[in-house]
Structure 1
Amino acid sequence: MPQRAFRRRATPLFLAYALVAVACLSFTAAAGVLIHRFGGAATPPPTSQATSLPSLVLPPPWNGKERVNVLILGVDDRPWDPTWGPPRSDTVILATLDPKTMTAGAISLPRDLWVNLPGIGERKLTQAYALGEMVYGKGQGPRLVAEVVSDLLHVPVHHYVVVNFRAFITLVDAVHGVKIEVPQRMALDVFTADGRRYDYPLYPGVQVLNGELALAYARNRSVGHDGDFGRMRRQQQVLEGVLQRLKDPRVLAELALKAPSLADQLSDNLHTDISVSDALRLARLAAEVPWQNVHLVVIDQREATATTKWENGVPVYALVPNEAKLLAARDQVFSPPPPPTPTPLPPATATAAALPPTPTVTAVEALQEAPRLLVENGTDVNGLACRTAALLRVQGFDRIDTRNADRHYAHTMLVEYTARPKTLAFLQQRFAVSPSRVQYRTSADPPADIVIILGSDWAASGQVDGVTCSP
């Protein structure tokens, strides 16, 4: 699948709808947590009232008929580290749903936005959550962010959902991972749900990432020169991947069955002030919004000027918002123009377009990498690995070992230990291996550059029938 170009103003519906789908999933998960914790009561969890925010005026409760705005915060909470302290909000998104017009959308705000925190002073937006917890008491972090976002965009914030590392990993794993087209090689800094850390090399191409890898991919800012804006694009890729999973009715059915166990796993890692009844109504409303009525805006350097600010005597990078441009961007979500009426293509134009041919990699190109291969027999067919290795030797691959696999495999898999992109592409074509059946591993003593694990599909293909094992 070709990589999608990033669109910021052309209403990227697939990304926007993905965002609403994730919000829907969050609302549903929030409902499960609340039901699990409070036995179905519609009263939201209590919050600390140790110190009141100086100017916060909460909007009236949602009546189910007017537009509702929900703040979605992704925080770098690390409960396994007792020294970590209050987390910062890495992701700040204001999602909106309007049941009257059946429109929806979201505004993504950069973490480096320079804003005024009531009673504290000017800081980066990412600091608002932690400072709210420290200055005003536990549970006040999201309320402070809500007030800041409300002042910034001149719209009310009715509710919030806070998701940490563990909740993100759990939600992505619940839909069996997300399919991502990785544009370039990158080194991921991966955290597990229990706080273990490891490095993982990610290679270009379409891959299925589990919760841990999807989190590391969405948080990565070390690739290219676009920093936080590049990370927001990767976050949107992950959201699109979640949407694709949610389109599968089998996944939705399985999520319904998993609801009780998901509630157990999320109860300490997803926090919200949305009541059970509102969460369920929001989930249903989000699912019913027409595709063409969803709008997404990412605030970047077109609405904010990059500059240097001083914080405690230290210079820091910051984005100072331009109010007029910021509110114009807001209006693209809250007051979008009606969608244009599509013009059908003439029959000749509609049928003339042809897809470009799929690029291929030849054995000659692969051999330039001098790959070391290991062929493993994952079937009950005697000599399958030996005969397959002989077939590859005919094509010039002479650095090959064979052995039996650790178990039976229905489908052929490829495991890359050392980057050999041309060889990997050639083997994917030769053995008809889909991207979801390619794994990338690291090892101090790898068995080969690439391991080919033969499955029953290869044995049944008949491609080595009549091939004799070479010594």
Structure 2
Amino acid sequence: MTDTPRVSPHRKRPVLIIIAIVALLLGGAYSLRRLTIAQSGQSGAAQPQPGDHASPPPVEPDTPDSTGPSGIPFIDNIIRPGTSSGRLPRAERSDMIIKKERVNILLLGIDRRPEEYGPSRTDTMILLSVDPKENTAAMLSIPRDLWVMIPEYGESRINVAHFAGDVRNYPGGGPALAKRTVSEILGVPVHYYVRVDFVGFEQLIDAIGGITIELESPVPPFAAGVHHMDGETALKFARTRRGSDDFHRMAHQQKVLMAALERVRSLDFPLSTTLQMVSLVNDSIQTDLNLVEMVALATIANRIDENDIRRGLIDSSMTTTVVTAQGWMVEIPHWDVILPMVEELLGEPEAWADDSPDLVRAGVTNLDRRIAIYNGTPEPGLAEAAADILGATGLNIVHTGEADHTDYAESEIIVRGEIEPPVDLLAVILGIPSEAIRQDPSMDAGVDIVVILGRQHLTQFGFH
């Protein structure tokens, strides 16, 4: 391989990924033990009550379409597809790029403390909606005490849906039942979810250098004025509410989201750096978006201006506070007010897809770029093992072979043309930093991207 100048990847601003991750961490969810995608509740468990915390539920075995552990922590612990997450198979999803349909993502922050295990209530629910036709987005905050009908459970606070889904072994667990509940009460499809705890929130806010929030009036203990907040302070602000209602807290969460958005847009993060940053908090994050879809979502986000992100919340003017016979203070929804607001925020019903839109075709361009993988170590079969995993993500692997020598310690990526989304995908999956990506216009015309695997990837792909 010839020596060529190293360059930084083409810069992107994957703001919706940050919004999605940050939003979930705002609700005060507490530290989680190591997560897998497929957690479900115990069969025959006791009737769940708001506030109950059961013993750890067993992990369901992979469903038949699962490919098993990939050996890549980011994939196995955060975005692993094919497990019982309630995710639809690709064949059943509609085509967002042709029909220009919205994609809706439910952001869940779960209320679980470090010493607690098992099913938990959601402390935060925000529906994030992206419209690729109009290049707009919207977020809707849903109060946790909203009194709704939970499918296959009955009437309760909406934050019980996630708990009930785990305890009752609902297909796909708590996230799937939470998605179905929100979908049925609002009359819109919910295609994906992201679930996170507050430890990751603090880490992500710190990783972007904190956020700046201006308060026009005091929010005790915060005085009026400009505040620069680290992760711990931002979490405290997001959980602060005036009096006893939850509505001010939801407004604070949206203020933190927009401040995080502004901060990310002021930085020059490449997409690969952002996703690698997210992977550092993989104990705190769970989603049914796969890696390619996350990159697609970020690519779509590049087209959305901050001023085209609309915000709404179900506030006190749309509910009546009552106390149930059990002594619970809940919010009775006025659907005649809420549903028109949802339609105004999210658009006409014909813009909504019934199945999961094809984010990949909508957002990730140039997936057909030809990729060659070369083994830069003495261990035979490394390139082929990597090709099996990388090809499963949708990347176009056209050749495997041996590198020009076998003493590469570090892996690298060489690109013939522009740094495009497939390169970002490779960098994130393989954990290759931007300084190990270089351009070489004189590369073989038969391929667009070359990956040389060094000794650093022997363990990752099962070689010891």
TM superposition score normalised by structure 1? 0.54
What's the offset of the Cα at 1:212? 1.5
Query: Which of the pair has the greater relative contact order for Cα pairs under 8 Å at 6+ separation?
Result: 2
What's the offset of the Cα at 1:298? 0.7
What's the offset of the Cα at 1:228? 0.6
Alignment partner of 1:325 out of 337, 356, 360 = 337
Matches within 5 A, 1:78-93: 78=113, 80-81=114-115, 83=116, 85-93=118-126
**1:166 corresponds to which letter in structure 2?**
V
1:315 match: secondary structure: coil
Residue 232 in structure 1 maps to residue 250 in structure 2 = yes
1:112 match: secondary structure: coil
Asked if structure 2 preserves the Cα contact closer than 8 Å seen for 1:159 and 1:272, the reply is yes
2:302 match: secondary structure: helix
2:292 paired residue number: 277
Identity across matched positions, percent: 31
Residue 38 in structure 1 maps to residue 75 in structure 2 = yes
1:135 paired residue number: 168
What's the offset of the Cα at 1:186? 3.0
Residue 248 in structure 1 maps to residue 266 in structure 2 = yes
Matches within 5 A, 1:140-289: 140-182=173-215, 183-184=217-218, 186-187=220-221, 202-221=222-241, 223=242, 225=243, 227-250=245-268, 252-253=269-270, 256-257=272-273, 259-260=275-276, 262-263=278-279, 265-289=280-304
What's the offset of the Cα at 1:175? 0.8
Q: Give the direction of change, closer, same or farther, for the CA distance of 1:62–1:278 in structure 2 (3 Å limit).
A: farther
> Where do 5+ consecutive residues of structure 1 fail to align?
1-16, 50-55, 188-201, 337-471
Q: Give the direction of change, closer, same or farther, for the CA distance of 1:237–1:39 in structure 2 (3 Å limit).
A: closer
Distance in structure 1 (CA, Å) of the matches to 2:159 and 2:264 = 30
Q: Give the direction of change, closer, same or farther, for the CA distance of 1:205–1:34 in structure 2 (3 Å limit).
A: farther
1:114 paired residue number: 147
Asked if structure 2 preserves the Cα contact closer than 8 Å seen for 1:114 and 1:318, the reply is yes
> Where do 5+ consecutive residues of structure 2 fail to align?
1-12, 26-35, 37-69, 349-464
**1:76 corresponds to which letter in structure 2?**
D
What's the offset of the Cα at 1:119? 1.9
Asked if structure 2 preserves the Cα contact closer than 8 Å seen for 1:75 and 1:89, the reply is yes
2:327 match: secondary structure: strand
2:403 paired residue number: none
Asked if structure 2 preserves the Cα contact closer than 8 Å seen for 1:71 and 1:92, the reply is yes
Q: Give the direction of change, closer, same or farther, for the CA distance of 1:315–1:293 in structure 2 (3 Å limit).
A: same
Asked if structure 2 preserves the Cα contact closer than 8 Å seen for 1:64 and 1:278, the reply is no
Distance in structure 2 (CA, Å) of the matches to 1:34 and 1:246 = 30
Residue 63 in structure 1 maps to residue 57 in structure 2 = no
**2:110 corresponds to which letter in structure 1?**
V
Matches within 5 A, 1:94-109: 94-109=127-142
Larger proportion of helix: 1
Q: Give the direction of change, closer, same or farther, for the CA distance of 1:261–1:286 in structure 2 (3 Å limit).
A: closer
Q: Give the direction of change, closer, same or farther, for the CA distance of 1:319–1:148 in structure 2 (3 Å limit).
A: same
Asked if structure 2 preserves the Cα contact closer than 8 Å seen for 1:18 and 1:239, the reply is no
Asked if structure 1 preserves the Cα contact closer than 8 Å seen for 2:318 and 2:333, the reply is yes
Q: Give the direction of change, closer, same or farther, for the CA distance of 1:247–1:86 in structure 2 (3 Å limit).
A: same
Asked if structure 1 preserves the Cα contact closer than 8 Å seen for 2:165 and 2:173, the reply is yes
2:375 paired residue number: none
**2:127 corresponds to which letter in structure 1?**
L
**2:335 corresponds to which letter in structure 1?**
E
What's the offset of the Cα at 1:134? 1.4
Asked if structure 1 preserves the Cα contact closer than 8 Å seen for 2:20 and 2:107, the reply is no
Deviations 1:253-286 (A, max 9, x none): 5x844643541x3222100001211111111112
Asked if structure 2 preserves the Cα contact closer than 8 Å seen for 1:117 and 1:123, the reply is yes
1:72 paired residue number: 107
Q: Give the direction of change, closer, same or farther, for the CA distance of 1:26–1:277 in structure 2 (3 Å limit).
A: farther
What's the offset of the Cα at 1:184? 2.5
What's the offset of the Cα at 1:235? 0.9
**1:214 corresponds to which letter in structure 2?**
A
2:84 paired residue number: 47
What's the offset of the Cα at 1:327? 1.1
Asked if structure 1 preserves the Cα contact closer than 8 Å seen for 2:78 and 2:282, the reply is no
Asked if structure 2 preserves the Cα contact closer than 8 Å seen for 1:59 and 1:156, the reply is no
Asked if structure 1 preserves the Cα contact closer than 8 Å seen for 2:79 and 2:288, the reply is no
Deviations 1:414-456 (A, max 9, x none): xxxxxxxxxxxxxxxxxxxxxxxxxxxxxxxxxxxxxxxxxxx
2:19 paired residue number: 23
Query: What's the C-alpha RMSD, in Å, of the aligned pairs?
Result: 3.7
Distance in structure 1 (CA, Å) of the matches to 2:14 and 2:73 = 27
Asked if structure 2 preserves the Cα contact closer than 8 Å seen for 1:180 and 1:237, the reply is yes
How many residues align structurally?
A: 288
Q: Give the direction of change, closer, same or farther, for the CA distance of 1:34–1:317 in structure 2 (3 Å limit).
A: farther
1:46 match: secondary structure: coil
Asked if structure 1 preserves the Cα contact closer than 8 Å seen for 2:19 and 2:257, the reply is no
Asked if structure 1 preserves the Cα contact closer than 8 Å seen for 2:16 and 2:298, the reply is no
**1:235 corresponds to which letter in structure 2?**
Q
Asked if structure 2 preserves the Cα contact closer than 8 Å seen for 1:179 and 1:241, the reply is yes
**1:300 corresponds to which letter in structure 2?**
D
2:416 paired residue number: none
Q: Give the direction of change, closer, same or farther, for the CA distance of 1:185–1:256 in structure 2 (3 Å limit).
A: same
Asked if structure 1 preserves the Cα contact closer than 8 Å seen for 2:16 and 2:297, the reply is no
Q: Give the direction of change, closer, same or farther, for the CA distance of 1:209–1:40 in structure 2 (3 Å limit).
A: closer
What's the offset of the Cα at 1:64? 3.8
